[in-house]
Structures are given as structure tokens and as C-alpha cells.
Amino acid sequence: MPYDLKQDATSLYIRLSRKKVIKKTIAATVFLLMTYLLAIAIYIFYPDFIGQVISPLTSIDDVIIIAAITFVIFLAVALNILYQYMYYKTYYFNIKDDVLVIRKGIFTPDEISIPYNRIQDIYVDRDLFDVILGLYDLHVSSATLESSRDAHIDGVTYGNAVKLKEMILEKVRRASKERSPL
């Protein structure tokens, strides 16, 4: 069941850091730059390879081919920046009374709802880009495959990671008390 962002969503007042857009953009841009350098190297060292691929179409000048490769890479970088920004704007998580809901994605959003009595572990971690940008990822584990893939809130500040962890732990404690006969 999709949730409305205008409802009392936790993600409205505990926001992801905008540095998340930078992190994702840097990673993709590095990949695209490596692809660009590889394409240029192939063109310089193996000009017959690209000539064979393009020659059936038309006879094209070398400068136009390099300009076309450059344009495609710059277009890919620009589209990636736009995609990452839209991803950031549509990222949704909510600590509801009975479940934790996380939805992410633009074209085909993935949404996971985890009941608090099914949560087995909550932890905070970082990768190299997170360390550089001062970001943290909050992971929530349950016994499902989806939780290992989708149940994390990535790109928050340390303070927000701690707040989120405490809020979820409190819900887990309440759920375990309600379930427990003691």
C-alpha cells in the first residue's frame, strides 16, 4: 500500500543529507569518466575498430566522433545528476505505529514495510564515500531477503542516524513487550 508523503512521514522532519546526491553522482561520474577514457583510448589506439563500426553508416571526421563521444558522456552525467536529485526528493521513510516503511526509486519504486516485532538488528555503517562526506547509513534487518536489499536509510547525518535508531529501537521494545506474556 503506497503511503502519502504529506502524511506524518518521518522523512519530512529527519531528512536525508543533500550530500547523498553528491555521493551517488560522484560514483556514477567516476564510472562514466573511466568509460569515456576507455572509449577515447580505443579510438586512438584502435582507430580501425570504431571505423568499422561507424563506416557502414557514413564517413565521419575524427573530430566529430570524439565530440560525439564527449557529448554522450556529458549527457549521461547530466541525466545522472537529475536522476539522483529526483531519487533524493522521492525517498520516503516513516516510523509508523506498527511498521517501518521505506520507499525508494523513481520509475519503479521499491517499498518495504517491516513490522517492528520482525526486526532482528539495527546498525549504522559507512563506506568510503560516506566517510569523506560525513554520511551514515542506517540498516534494519529482518529474516527476509528484501530487508537486506531495501531496508536501509542511506545518506543521513550522524545525529539523524542516532535519532532514527533510537526511534526504531523504542518501537521494537514496545512491540516485544506487547508480544511477550511477561
pLDDT at 78: 93
Question: How far is the CA of 34 from the CAs of 31, 116, 179, in angstroms?
Answer: 5, 43, 53
**84: CB partners within 8 A, 6+ apart:** 20, 21, 24, 25, 28
pLDDT at 181: 56
Residues of the chain with pLDDT under 70: 1-8, 50-60, 145-149, 179-182
- Count CA within 13 A, CB hemisphere, residue 16: 27
pLDDT at 8: 67
Fold of 93-179: PH-domain like (2.30.29)
Question: How far is the CA of 17 from the CAs of 24, 102, 111, in angstroms?
Answer: 12, 16, 20
pLDDT at 142: 84
pLDDT at 66: 78
pLDDT at 178: 78
pLDDT in tens, 33-76: 998 899 888 878 877 776 666 555 556 677 777 788 889 889 99
pLDDT at 1: 47
DSSP code string of 4-39: -TTSS-HHHHSPPPTHHHHHHHHHHHHHHHHHHHHH
Using only C-alpha atoms, the chain has a radius of gyration, in whole angstroms, of 22
Question: How far is the CA of 122 from the CAs of 30, 101, 130, 142, in angstroms?
Answer: 31, 14, 18, 9
pLDDT at 82: 93
| Grid cell for residue 5 | 508523503
Q: What is the pTM of this model?
A: 0.77
